Structure 1
Amino acid sequence: MNEKSILNKFFKNNQSIWLKIKSPFGEEQYIPRIIDITAGNLEQNKNKSRRMKCCLSILLTLLTMMILALSILAIIIPILLLRRKSSTPPLSPIIVTNSSNNTTTVVTRTRTTTIACIYPNLISPFGTCVNIMIDSKNCGQVNNVCPRNSTCSAGICNNVPGIQLDNAKIVFSSATNGSADDQMYNITLPWNITLYNTTTNKVIVTSDGVLCLGNCSTSYTESRLPSRIFDGATAFPFWDDLYIYANTSQGIYYQTEGDIPQRTLIFEYYMSHYVELNQFYHFQVTFFENFPGIVQYKYFDATDHGDTCTIGVQASKTGPFMMYSYDQPNSVQINMTIYFDTIRGTFNLSNIN
């Protein structure tokens, strides 16, 4: 087979690719169909580009219309709500009290709300729940107002002053935690306090009138100092078998006052005696940042005047220690203050200014 026959056969099988032409000299030649194929591709790409531009234009138009609609709604809806609110007159509630089941129903023309009070909370004329055990304006019963300079505890008006700390942190509160007997509570303080050679910001307070800077105990039976029950540095502002009664204003609180380096840390105890609800014991324990080693006890009330308590401080179960009193009649008077200087080993008494 000659060369010409081979070319003719190749052309016949690939006419879509090759183009047969004659040269100026009359010879047949084959050239690729590049121009035709390229032109088709260009036209196809142009069509695709036109379709993409059209779709993009439609999407942008729809997005613009959606944003415009949302903007209009954002303007119209607040206006409609304001008109509706201004056109509705305020409704005065009607309070209906049912004394048989201790509930109050507050009725308006649009809604009804039922308030249920759980004893010792009762319903006031204003439709609110009041705690008749500690509320001095509703002491023992609704609208029973305690005299001026007195407080309500266990539903009884008495002359015992209320909690003195105005921004206290609660260690234990009977109003929320219930009663407490022979309990102790761990506290992490905002700064260190010192008693004898012990300096720490972690203390333990007990419901029996004891504050420990180390290991502690819930022992309620007071004894002479040093007490072998308490291993570390311990303050005994009023060690006795005390008790916190539920539904009263009793509890244990603490608060820091002043600015660095003259801050004071005050613990406040307000409680009764075990099985003696009407005996009250109210006192504070204060530590001084600029006088480390000094602790102060203040007494606002002590019904039995200290007849069955221990008051003092000790460094450890073997001492050193200072004991002001142990089961001593009339050892505690109202407004009495005791300062213990555990560095010098001295203490003295004075009155609260």
Structure 2
Amino acid sequence: MGNETATRDESAEGSADDTAIRRRSRRGAWITAVLAAIVLIGGTFTYFNTNLLDSGRLCYGWVTVDEADRALGGGIGKVTASEGSAGTCTIEKASWLPGEDRRISLRADTENEGFPFTRGVWKLSGDMRVLSGGTHGAYDKWGGWAMLPAACQKVTGDDREGPVALSASVDGRGGPGDTDGMGRLLASAGRELMKASDCAAPGYGDTADRTSAPSGERAADLARVCGIEGFRLDGLRGPKGERVTERIIGEPGKAVYCDLSFEGDEEGPFARFAAVGDPALAATLGDRRFTRARCDGAETVFAHDLRYFEKSELAAMQMPDSARFSKAFGDAARAALRCA
């Protein structure tokens, strides 16, 4: 009887010990799993944020990690870059958050003659910010460009003649970048490119940058189009009677860039106007037949780019033809800018 009791007691004690061991084992496994998860999360976070401690440069040394990160919109993510041939580079930001990966293509290229005022394809729009002073270019949250001296053509690997520009473009996969960051990226990268490639020239990167912001779209005052006194387009309307809207960069008395559109027109502006006083940009207009004048000591070109319309369409919309558009804009802008 005593032996049976001892056996049951020993059995109970063994069962309790087994239970305690299993509990300790489960607790140990749980702690191990938690620690492993912490290590994994910490490692992932560190991987996707190593650029925060990286003081190196990207893209042939043109760009800092911080500049690239700002242009891509900031936030959590690791910034890397891969250099291509002939002055091309791709900057990527990988994030652990779905849909947050972003990419910028950066390249130095020889552009077509007339850039950025190529007929029908102006790369300077009334809804972009314009850089002048030390950097000559334009940008928005999707990218932009900055002019480079002619000597920087050696960076492009292209033996064509034409203006040379550094361009940035966001691929849109993870949304747009940051507008201000894009401007700083282009200005800084342009300076570093010229330094690294020994292709600097007077008027490029040797003075402070100035930024002119767009006005935003608004209804045009047809008695004072583009904010310029005397620039009148009385009665102008769209093919279906749409009113005219405008976007303006600058102001009378300084350089002016202006887009005119018909409200709701998905084709974009039907007319673009520019009083171009920036020497680097004015030079790209070459001998095109635009009005020119000396304004505040600098040659200024009064350029325009118009969508093609049939004569019958022009009459129905009360729109001037190219020659009358040119005269109306040139005369009014010369007076507003107080040109000689």
**Structure 2 length normalisation: TM-score?**
0.25
By relative contact order (CA 8 Å, sep 6+), the higher-ranking structure is: 2
More strand by share: 1
More helix by share: 2
**Structure 1 length normalisation: TM-score?**
0.25
